[in-house]
Chains A and B, each alone.
Chain A
């Protein structure tokens, strides 16, 4: 369970948001909405612990994420704006090494299956350098099919994806939520994801 209390974000001397609070339980989906520059990405980075909040605290199972960092981080899958792919590694190497570096010891077959699930298995042995923006995004998103943790924090996961991939990802998200997972995402697209409880958080000045 993720609980957030009174978060405030200051970038430079601009207050992006304050008093942001919510509670996300198993099966819950949270949409973070707002204009460009309203602090959506900053909020997601704060929830991961990459950015220190100006005020407020993020709790994982009623403990601060700093105190519970090992359990929190092993449950967390974060996909930000940056894909985290190495241009000189193939799609498959990127996916397997990325997962293993985070302590998730996946086999090559499992990684191939994950690439197939998002329809990019043809590119498995191509270096990431030659992939298009959308293909790179799909390779990054393939790690959701390998993720074992409960909490997914996704920053614009649908950006740059084609229609078929969007529906595959939406179905995967619905499956994750129905099996007791949690997801927080920002999006500008209108995508329906089936979940038991859907919350919306609107960031505005």
Chain B
């Protein structure tokens, strides 16, 4: 069972490595969207640092969204999804391997790039640190919840937009706690409550989202 899980993870990482341009698109999107705001709003440090938490979190959220449609679409089109459904291993487990691969490829780079972007927004060091922690705790939930939307819209025309409509409302709690954590630390308060709630969001979606995703995949393949 472990072998199958590792294989699914390794295959997805290998595929991402062979199609690096797809990964770069996500990262550049994040970079450009979050760089547009300082250019549009002006160089006032006080204004920039007050909008930074929200802007950076929304940019991270949209960047993750951009790559969601690719999560199962290729597998669906070439038939490897059918084979995954027919594997004797529980589908929910194999789904977690695919989501983990998606997070490692599209979520983690955003987390690592975020402090660099944060500097553009004149964020102080401790707020930068909280930004990284909040993204690290929150982005797994984005990938997990997004997988449900990706699975539900498989084979549907215009699935990219539909995924956004389905998934963005579900991202609201993660956005509130994520941006809230950074804002709290900017105002000299403890970010711990926000971060705990963020971790809770991720854990809850780790338990529930793979079940929902697996069910949605079975329906889509019919």
Contacts and interface: CB of A to CB of B under 8 A. Distances in A.
A21 interface: no
B119 interface: no
B208 interface: no
* Chain A interface residue number, banded: 20 to 34
A100 B78 contact: no
Contacts of A83: 78-79
Interface string A57-96: 0000000000001100110101011111111110001000
B79 A103 contact: no
A48 B11 contact: no
A105 interface: yes
Nearest to A98: B83
Contacts of A51: 222
Contacts of A78: 82-83, 86
B79 A73 contact: no
A100 B4 contact: yes
B86 A73 contact: yes
B15 interface: yes
Interface in B52-91: 74, 77-80, 82-89
B82 A101 contact: no
22 contacts: A49-B86, A50-B221, A51-B222, A73-B86, A73-B88, A76-B86, A78-B86, A80-B82, A81-B79, A82-B78, A82-B79, A86-B78, A88-B15, A88-B19, A89-B11, A100-B3, A100-B4, A101-B84, A102-B86, A102-B87, A102-B89, A105-B3
Interface of A: 48-52, 69-70, 73-74, 76, 78, 80-89, 93, 97-98, 100-103, 105
